[in-house]
């Protein structure tokens, strides 16, 4: 196949057009990741439905270096403007800006 591409979420090859992976990551993803990660994440962002106890996987924090890339953690606090705080380190995750997804909803 001459059109193998790599999914920006699972890193596996896929054929065909793939899917727009935003807002989870700035690239394209395979059908499996689209259904299991991207679509649910779009719905969560639409409704702002994050909860203390959700486990998240950080792909990249907007405007930061790669320190947090790939980290996973549990949401311990959500502040009044909707930023997620958790045990992945010192920085809050901002749902409207950052690339991340929920791996295990509470
Ligand atoms: Zn994938």
CA 35 / ligand 1 centre spacing (Å): 10
CA 53 / ligand 1 centre spacing (Å): 25
Whether residues 33 and 58 share a domain: the answer is no
Whether residues 59 and 33 share a domain: the answer is no
CA 33 / ligand 1 centre spacing (Å): 4
Question: In the structure encoding, which two tokens stand for residue 5, read together?
Answer: 């591409």
Tens-place pLDDT, residues 43-79:
999 998 999 999 999 999 999 999 999 999 999 999 9
Tens-place pLDDT, residues 15-54:
999 999 999 999 999 999 999 999 999 999 999 899 999 9
Whose tokens are 């980290």? That residue is 71
80 pLDDT higher than 60: yes
Whether residues 98 and 54 share a domain: the answer is yes
Q: What is the arrangement of strands in the sheet containing 55-60, beginning at the earlier edge strand?
A: 84-86, 72-78, 55-60, 99-104
Domain that holds residue 79: 50-102
Output the pLDDT for position 102: 96
The model's pTM:
0.88
Integer Cα distance of 25 and 101 in angstroms: 9
CA 30 / ligand 1 centre spacing (Å): 4
CA 23 / ligand 1 centre spacing (Å): 15
Whether residues 98 and 67 share a domain: the answer is yes
Looking at the 3D structure of the chain, how many domains does it have? 2
- N- to C-terminal Cα distance for the chain? 41
Whether residues 80 and 61 share a domain: the answer is yes
Whether residues 22 and 66 share a domain: the answer is no
CA 80 / ligand 1 centre spacing (Å): 33
CA 45 / ligand 1 centre spacing (Å): 20
1 pLDDT higher than 60: no
């Amino acid at each position: 196949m001459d059109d193998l591409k790599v999914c920006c979420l699972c890193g596996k090859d896929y054929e065909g057009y793939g899917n727009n992976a935003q807002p989870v990551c700035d690239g394209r993803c395979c059908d499996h990741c689209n259904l299991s990660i991207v679509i649910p994440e779009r719905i969560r962002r639409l409704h702002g439905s994050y909860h203390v106890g959700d486990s998240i996987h950080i792909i990249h924090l907007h405007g930061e270096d790669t320190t947090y890339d790939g980290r996973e953690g549990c949401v311990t606090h959500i502040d009044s403007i909707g930023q997620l705080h958790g045990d992945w380190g010192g920085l809050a995750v901002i749902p409207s800006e950052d690339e991340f997804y929920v791996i295990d909803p509470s």
